[in-house]
Amino acid sequence: MHASTAAPLAYQVNLSDHALGEAQRNALLAGELGFGKRFTDHMVAIQWDKDRGWHDAQVHAYGPLSLDPAAAVLHYGQEIFEGIKAYRHADGSIWTFRPEANGARLQRSAARLALPQLPVDEFVESLRQLVAVDHAWVPSAPESSLYFRPFMIASEAFLGVRAAQVATYYVIASPAGAYFAKGVAPVSIWLSEDYARAAKGGTGAAKCGGNYAASLLPQQEAQAQGCSQVLFLDPVEGKYLEELGGMNVFLVYRDGRLVTPELSGSILEGITRSSILQLARDRGMTVEERRVSIDEWKAGVASGEIAEVFACGTAAVVTPIGELKGKDFAVGDIHAPAGEVTMALRRELTDIQHGRAPDRHGWMARLR
């Protein structure tokens, strides 16, 4: 579809002249990292234009972008992103998880947002290039990781409404501590009855900033209700579960079934979701990808037929859901301990990612 370079891109590496010293970096990595607040010394940038395709791949100092105020991304929101982690294993080696899946998803997001498709090999290579210079930033504390944020913007300075003919792909990286520093704790979620995050035929299945922009108001509403996340329903009937706006959702039935909403066209296809489905099948669980109504959730939790509910995504891996609240109801018990199946699946997945369990599906890719 778009011009793509047959030969691998050659990187120009310009090391930062203000990289953090070793002692400072180690002190920072040993402290409370939180999520997405501190960034490594370097970043990747690759240019694309309609005539030349992908070119000018660089690793350079992390820092502000210089962007024309007419850049299309600032006006029409033509932007996509990814989220993927690097894990330091006990022997010091650095690995990532299913990067080809993220690369392929970035391509699907690009297609929907009329942005150019970065070859999957180049996506994986961009992570490798950043780790080559910033490997000391991959933390080694239990459950910690380096979170990569690859993203692409329409950087053409043009206010006409059409797909941009100039785009830039970047990768930045942020060291991340254990998401649940004080132990995995169930969260309370808010059912958004007034807002949808995606539309039929819209961009819900693409990982794009615009979907998040649409979710921030309901997210504020959730917080005002004492909930940490929002659950969105399907945009057509307002009846079926979609997802949490940044995480996919699963129901564990007392009879051993694991149920998750089928990919409806407006749900984001999570790589954690697909990995959890595989691990559940491996455990002999009956896995169902189908439509699940909000009434099924409410009735199932009330009757005890649904024993556990959880959400999953790269950042928090697996988050138990203790309670679901809406305008005139609440089901579940936020004070109940995290479910057994939820925690077993969480442990299994993180053991593979951190190199504590055999990688029987070939999901891990070595970065260094």
Which residues bind to ligand PLP, rule: CB under 6 A? Answer: 83, 207, 211, 243, 245-248, 268, 270-273, 313-314
**CB-based contact 306:297 (threshold 8 Å):** yes
3-state DSSP assignment of residue 364: strand
For the CB of residue 312, give the shortest distance to ligand PLP in the complex, in Å: 6
> Of 87, 80, 70, 78, whose CA–CA distance to 102 is shortest?
80
Q: Which amino acid is at 243?
A: E
CB atoms within 10 A of CB 190: 24
Q: What's the gap between Cα 71 and its chain centre?
A: 25
Q: How far is CA 40 from CA 64, 89, 174, 180, 360, in A?
A: 13, 19, 6, 22, 31
For the CB of residue 60, give the shortest distance to ligand PLP in the complex, in Å: 27
Strands, DSSP E only, in the chain? 11-13, 42-49, 53-61, 79-81, 84-88, 94-97, 145-154, 166-176, 187-191, 229-231, 248-253, 257-261, 286-290, 306-313, 317-326, 329-332, 364-366
For the CB of residue 207, give the shortest distance to ligand PLP in the complex, in Å: 5
Closer by beta carbon to ligand PLP, 150 or else 322: 150
Distance in angstroms (rounded) separating the CA atoms of residues 345 and 123:
28
Tokens, residue 295: 């009434």
Distance in angstroms (rounded) separating the CA atoms of residues 341 and 101:
25
For the CB of residue 84, give the shortest distance to ligand PLP in the complex, in Å: 8
Closer by beta carbon to ligand PLP, 166 or else 208: 208
Closer by beta carbon to ligand PLP, 133 or else 172: 172
Closer by beta carbon to ligand PLP, 169 or else 250: 250
For the CB of residue 208, give the shortest distance to ligand PLP in the complex, in Å: 8
For the CB of residue 300, give the shortest distance to ligand PLP in the complex, in Å: 22
State the maximum Cα–Cα separation within the chain, in Å, rounded to a whole number: 62
Closer by beta carbon to ligand PLP, 133 or else 191: 191
Closer by beta carbon to ligand PLP, 54 or else 232: 232
CA dihedral 202, 277, 240, 311 (to 10 degrees): -90
Closer by beta carbon to ligand PLP, 54 or else 190: 190
Distance in angstroms (rounded) separating the CA atoms of residues 275 and 87:
17
Distance in angstroms (rounded) separating the CA atoms of residues 311 and 331:
16
Closer by beta carbon to ligand PLP, 39 or else 81: 81
For the CB of residue 10, give the shortest distance to ligand PLP in the complex, in Å: 30
Closer by beta carbon to ligand PLP, 117 or else 353: 353
For the CB of residue 246, give the shortest distance to ligand PLP in the complex, in Å: 5
Q: What's the gap between Cα 240 and its chain centre?
A: 22
For the CB of residue 316, give the shortest distance to ligand PLP in the complex, in Å: 9
Q: How far is CA 203 from CA 101, 117, 233, 279, 323, in A?
A: 19, 16, 15, 28, 28
- The answer to whether the Cα torsion of 119, 125, 127, 133 is positive or negative is negative
